[in-house]
Amino acid sequence: MKKVVNSGGIPGIIAYHKKKPVGWCSVGPRENYPTLVRSRTLRAMNQKDPIQGKPDKTVWSIVCLFVEKPNRNQGISIKMLEAAVNYAKSKGAKVVEGYPKDTRKSRWADAFVWTGHISAFKKAGFVEVFRSSPTQVIMRYSR
């Protein structure tokens, strides 16, 4: 993250309510997140360009989605996801990925759902493309 900021990059977007920050969404090229690049459970759907063999720079990732507790359940996550997609597309992204948790079958502590909820991603137009476990999902927006 420090490398992205020091290079002049924008590591994400902030949601405000009455000039006060109430939410955060980290979004950037997938290759900027070394943990994702190395992950076995969140492996890239198309890690390399099949023609040139280079990382696909048109895939962006949403790796963190947080809304302050008093502001939850008001649609802020959905608005932030939509804004993240618009920002990524404006920077050349063809696909935007997210890695939300599917919490429908059990209650999760907020600290473990920092990648977002599957329901918010669905409402923002993302579709599930891969599931490595009952709760870990890769969703994509590619319209």
Q: Could you read off the pLDDT of 31-66 as tens digits, one per residue?
A: 888 788 777 777 666 544 443 445 566 889 999 999
Cα–Cα distance between 28 and 75 in angstroms, integer? 22
Q: Which domains does the chain have, with CATH numbers?
A: 14-95+115-141 (3.40.630.30)
Segment 48-56 long-range contacts (CB within 8 Å, at least 24 positions apart):
55/30, 55/31, 56/30
Portion of the chain with pLDDT greater than 70, in percent? 80
pLDDT at 31: 84
Please list the ranges in the chain whose pLDDT falls under 50. Answer: 47-53
Q: How far apart are CA 95 and CA 46, in angstroms?
A: 11
Distance CA 39, CA 43 (A): 6
